[in-house]
Structure 1
């Protein structure tokens, strides 16, 4: 089934299409979510929330504004960031046992290996140092543009412009 056929069925709220959608994208979306959330069970909950949002909000997808995968990836990223900022999540993180801290450290050390596994890191390394810093904050650490602006002591407009330019540079590397 092509993506176009799948989208038509999803617009019609076909449940089999939803299952197919989940089978097609759950692994890649989970990887993105897990990089941000770090806790497997919490990441699985967020993944479920993401698919519910995709299902409920499919009418807001506009093909002329971008690819479907980019749209669902943004839903996954934004839902993950919302979870990280939630009061319940922050409170649960305060109550972690020392074993969990060891696991968190191990997982953060594996981040570069995960990036290597999907081939992104080699392209990100080709970018200018400022781009690497901005992409790291915005996409891998889940900072908002405002937070990145404060962290890097740069005006918000500059962060937005640099981010757009860095993403374009990354796209050009990926086309090669």
Structure 2
């Protein structure tokens, strides 16, 4: 008889006890969706992979701080991811303007020669997959996810911006992320 999969909360309890297999299981459940969300904002496979690594390394360090009374594990993970994505966006915004203005024509040409066509194809495919998955979400859920994860609004700001209760925003984000996770998991299995 096959055993039932561990709940996310139980996995976090085991991670807090330094169970690496629990971390691996949680990673397998959420890494793809966190990567997809990060990629939509960062447009970089490397940066998105860094976000995933940052999130799960943070989970390893602070799993004992998770409080089931305050929210679900997936919500907690997506909050950690959102924070890491915003950190990376801020970092990129600080570094990009200074390097952009200092480039001369020879630097631009050498960069063009280094373009990896396979990487570009991978990015285009990944981008299309994410856009397709986001378009499959109900409009109400897609809007709040885009405002939260791609424009950096807090849940309270979203509630004020679109004129709905904060609890409705939280529910739409949770349901939307759950559906997005499911859609992307099904797409990856094809």
TM tier, smaller: 0.5 to 0.7
Residue 124 of structure 1: how far off its partner (Å): 3.7
> Are positions 1:23 and 2:28 aligned together?
yes
Q: Which residue of 2 aligns with 1:153?
A: none
Q: Aligned runs of 1:1-176 on 2, under 5 Å?
A: 1-3=5-7, 4-86=9-91, 90-92=94-96, 94-95=99-100, 114-117=130-133, 120-125=134-139, 127=140, 132=143, 135-139=145-149, 141-145=150-154, 158-159=160-161, 162=164, 164=166, 165-168=168-171
- TM-score, normalised via structure 2 length: 0.61
Any unmatched runs of 5+ in structure 2?
101-107, 180-190
Report if the CA contact (8 A) 2:51-2:84 is conserved: yes
1:17 & 1:76 partners in 2: Cα distance?
19
- Count of matched residue pairs: 155
The answer to whether the Cα contact below 8 Å between 2:159 and 2:165 also exists between their aligned partners in 1 is no
Q: How far off its partner does 1:72 sit?
A: 0.6
Query: Greater CA deviation, 158-167 or 18-27?
Result: 158-167
Larger radius of gyration: 2
TM-score when scaled to structure 1? 0.65
Structure 1 contact 30–43 (Cα < 8 Å) conserved: yes
Deviation at 1:46, TM superposition (A): 1.6
Q: Could you report, residue by residue, the CA deviation over 1:60-82 in whole angstroms, capped at 9, with x for unpaired residues?
A: 21111111111111101111111
Gaps of 5+ in 1: 150-155
